[in-house]
Amino acid sequence: MPSDLQPPRFIRNVLATTPEEDSEIVMRTPPKAAAGIPSIITTFQSSLGELGLIRTTQLFASVNQKDGFDCTSCAWPDPDGERSRLEFCENGARAFAEEATTKRVTREFFSKWNVEQLSLQSDHWLGHQGRLTEPMVLRPGSLHYEPISWDDAFKLIAGKLRNLDSPDESIFYTSGRASNEAAFLYQLFVRRFGTNNLPDCSNMCHESSSLALNETLGTGKSTARLDDLESADCILLFGINPGSNMPRMLTSLAKAVDRGAQIIAINPLPELGLMRFGHPQEVRGVLGNGVALASQFLQLKINGDVALIKGVMKCLVAKDKVAKILDHEFIEHYCSGFDEFLSALDRVSWDDIVQSSGVAESDIRRLAETLACSRNTVACWSMGLTQHSNGVANIQELVNLMLLQGNLGRPHAGLFCVRGHSNVQGDRTMGIWEKPSKEFLDQLERVFHFSPPRTNGLDTVGAIEAMADGRSKVFVGLGGNFLSATPDTLLTAASLQQCLLTVQISTKLNRSHLVTGETALILPCLGRTERDAQQAGEQFVSTENSTCQIRSSIGRLDPASVHLRSEIAIIGGIAKATLGEDSGIDWEHLVGNYDVIRDCVEQVVPGFERYNSRVREPGGFYLRVPSRERDFRTSDGMAHFTTNEIPLHEVNPNRLVMMTIRSHSQFNTTVYGFDDRYRGVSGGRRVIFMNAGDIAEANLSEGQWVDLTSYFRGEERHAPRFRIVTYSIPRGFSATYYPETNVLVSIGSRADGSNTPAFKFIEVSVTASSQAPVHTEAAAFASGARSRTDRRTL
């Protein structure tokens, strides 16, 4: 990493607070159940405030319906059969309300506000200014964005790309929001241009899941569907906060409980959504206390999952010697590595299991008894398992547990990877990946008659490092907020500013528009809620949810501006300007009729036979998942038991382990407000949740302002002014919200194999703050963004 990398210009300092964020943080009594009346009130307040009554009514009647649009928030699946007329959650309503808002960011806005002034505003303020309305350019040396025509924007991008010494000097990032059609066209353009530099948000969340599942089962996707979850005997929830992150999951969990299922919640924090659910569309949810969900809650240490699972498996193996509870027929006919697995498991001591997991042996044995009595078990997990240095091993150990009882390839059982952003899985299916398979590239070459690059490209972490080193000079972002989503925020910011050009294809203003390359473009696009008219008439797009269901998404509202273009039209415009007439691909034909894109997908991607007809069926269709049918596409055709060590982490006794989490009023990096209703926090986000014993031992107090310092391989990173909140979390551990503390996550701290940043395991010290509120970028850097402890630091 270059030692002369300069601190980023105009980054609203993530180390400091803005005036908007300096209000007094108040702790309130959390509600007794997730959702319920408060959820109803918040949903209608946010929607009516942004949209008004008529637009609110239009959207409520259309979201997640079989003839409507797919929610822009999480990737939770929709019911196959009859659906509620209000098939969405509180945070989903916030997401599509912000997209469909009547507020507008115009050229007059950018004339009034320069980049430096905007950088001093909070992420919340930026997101609430409204929809972007026309292409804007920030020219070298200027502080103000100014209008640019679409043709000139495309020519500018094309000129920068064609002047590169190699296509590999460019990076093409994708967020999960892009449709299947946009993602396919994007990767087609990028590979026709000549690079596999296609990092995406999967690199930062479920890459560990995909790798672990591919290595053990041969397919990197969930084996369970929604009806399996709702009909299971036992449901394991690892590292999930459904009440805030995917609230519609609570409806399915309540259905399972009504049918007699046992739900086991395994998490470092006692999240309200794991405990009790007040269904906002049922009388008992509105007037009563709702439904009790988890029958057992295991509060383990952060990253204590491998140890816990090993304890459960030791119990099951021992019990099987008395009464056969393992699926020996399944293991014999479909699995390999069982003997080695048993030998390694036998060597694990209960002392290590209890010490590393933080869970009492009696509680682990109770969980094992529940599983022993369960004929059909579904195991669900999210980023509480994936964002660790041993994230891949975490998932593989969970696979081991499910293989023992044959909970794969039969109804009402399986592995359920709870994906985050809507269509993040679909983007990968469409070819958004820096490591494309030979089979995919062969099909691309056969259908489009060019030789795609065969060398692996850069993932998200690799892209940041390449921009910092000067190896990458052009960055294009298809959606998302790259700067705020990534680790090592100051390094990422300085790396983006090394670029000659940064391009953001967006619906709303975010921080990635303010920390830019020498030249920057904002290209505003249509949202899913809006009608999309092309040459062949009105179009629809499609998405894939967490259970591999492909469905159509049709916008109903008028576009926020006559100047907006669809993501597909923007990609096609860049491709045509960059590659010219010699590409051998008719970009205008593809953009003019999305059926043509789907016909191409059908020829390239397995499982999309009769794509255009099947996606038009109500509810769409499911992709085949071979491992769901006990068809394991591994090297030996078997499901693999693996051996994984209990992770050992040496943490200074005067420090804590910190994980980053979402508040209830955010989705990914989008901040809807400053309250976290389910945790009782009101009025602010710069808080650190700590155990009362740790607070007392450090001579600190509830509500005190403190500074945070993280440590990784001799490096230190600093983030000042967080308020202490006493919370039920194991001793030695803490939690903070992201993106405010992403600055503390080293780019070098990442999962083995998957390269996923370790957002959930950061060693920190907590000290009384000596600083007054810092509201300026200059003052923040004067406080020392990083310690210069090696040549890689800023």
Give residue limits of the domains in the chain: 207-417, 653-782
What is the Rg, in whole angstroms, of the alpha carbon atoms belonging to the chain?
25
Lowest mean pLDDT among 20-29, 167-176, 289-298: 20-29
- Tell me, what's the pLDDT at 25? 82
Q: What is the pLDDT of residue 23?
A: 62
pLDDT of residue 93: 74
The residue written with tokens 């501006």 in the block is 561
The answer to whether 778 and 13 have CB atoms below 8 angstroms apart is no
Question: Which pLDDT belongs to residue 67?
Answer: 79
Under the banding of pLDDT at 50, 70 and 90, the label for residue 772 is: low
Q: Residue 275's pLDDT is what?
A: 75
Provide the CA 548 distance to its chain's centre, in angstroms.
Answer: 17
The model's confidence at residue 754, banded by pLDDT at 50, 70 and 90, is very high
Residue 177: the pLDDT is 82
User: How does the average pLDDT of the chain come out, rounded?
Assistant: 89
Q: Which residue has the higher pLDDT, 648 or 471?
A: 471
Average pLDDT over residues 251-265: 93
> Does the pLDDT at position 789 exceed 60?
no
The pLDDT of 123-149, averaged and rounded, is 96
Tokens 């030979």 label which residue? 438
Question: Cα–Cα distance between 640 and 377 in angstroms, integer?
Answer: 19
Distance, CA of 257 to CA of 274 (rounded, Å) = 12
Fold match, 207-417 / 653-782: no
Taking a C-beta distance cutoff of 8 angstroms, is the pair 449, 191 a contact?
no
Q: Which residues pair with 622 in a beta bridge?
A: 549
In whole angstroms, what is the distance from residue 158 CA to residue 451 CA? 21
Q: What is the mean pLDDT of residues 38-59?
A: 66
Comparing 27-31, 200-204, 309-313, 769-773, which segment has the lowest mean pLDDT? 769-773
Contact 487, 623 (CB under 8 A): no
Q: What is the pLDDT of residue 664?
A: 84
Instruction: Say if residue 266's pLDDT is above 90.
Output: yes
Separation of first and last alpha carbons in the chain: 10
The whole-number pLDDT of residue 785 equals 35
pLDDT score at 41: 61
Q: Which of 8-12, 174-178, 289-293 has the highest mean pLDDT?
A: 174-178
Chain segment 646-697, per-residue pLDDT in tens: 998 889 999 999 999 999 888 888 888 888 888 889 889 999 999 999 999 9
So what's the pLDDT on residue 6? 74
pLDDT: is 637 or 69 the higher one?
Answer: 637
pLDDT of residue 630: 97
Q: Is residue 467 scored above 90 in pLDDT?
A: yes
Tell me the per-residue pLDDT of 350-377, one tens digit each, with 9 for 90 and over: 999 999 999 999 999 999 999 999 999 9
Count of residues for the chain?
794
**Distance set, CA 408 to CA 72, 235, 536, 632, 697 (Å):** 30, 14, 44, 11, 47
What are the DSSP E strand ranges found in 439-545? 474-478, 501-506, 519-524, 532-534, 537-539, 541-544
Cα-based torsion angle of the residue sequence 367, 369, 370, 374 in order, rounded to the nearest 10 degrees: 140
% the chain with pLDDT above 90? 74
Q: Is the pLDDT of residue 553 over 80?
A: yes
Where would I find the H helices in 52-89?
A: 53-60
Residue with the larger pLDDT of the pair 272 and 339? 339
* pLDDT on residue 65: 76
pLDDT of amino acid 268: 96
Report residue 66's pLDDT band, with 50, 70 and 90 as the boundaries: confident
Its CATH class, for the domain covering 653-782, is: mainly beta
Q: Would you put residue 660 in left (φ > 0), alpha (ψ -120 to 50) or beta?
A: beta
Query: Where residue 40 falls among pLDDT bands split at 50, 70, 90?
Result: low
Evaluate if residue 333 carries a pLDDT over 60: yes
CA 213, 214, 220: angle at the middle one, nearest 5? 65
> What percent of the chain clears pLDDT 70, i.e. is strictly above it?
89
Is the pLDDT higher at 185 or at 122? 185
Residue whose pair of structure tokens reads 């007094």 in the numeric block: 24
Please say if the pLDDT value at position 775 is more than 80.
Answer: no
Asked whether the predicted pLDDT for residue 48 surpasses 70, the reply is no
Q: What is the pTM of this model?
A: 0.93
> Checking DSSP bridges between strand 621-622 and strand 26-27, what pairing results, if any?
unpaired
| Interval 30-41 mean pLDDT | 63
Least confident piece of the model among 33-37, 310-314, 330-334 = 33-37
Q: Looking at residue 786, what is its pLDDT?
A: 32
User: Is the alpha carbon torsion for 65, 68, 74, 76 positive or negative?
Assistant: positive
Contacts of 789 (CB under 8 A, 6+ apart): 714, 715, 716
Dump strand ranges (E) for 363-411.
377-381
Q: Does domain 207-417 have CATH number 3.40.228.10?
A: yes
pLDDT over 80 at 779, yes or no: no
**Average of per-residue pLDDT across 143-172:** 98
Q: Are 223 and 639 in contact (CB under 8 A)?
A: no
- The more confident residue out of 594 and 81 is 594
Query: Which of the four pLDDT bands, split at 50, 70 and 90, describes residue 518?
Result: very high
Closest by alpha carbon to 506, among 542, 534, 484, 477?
A: 477
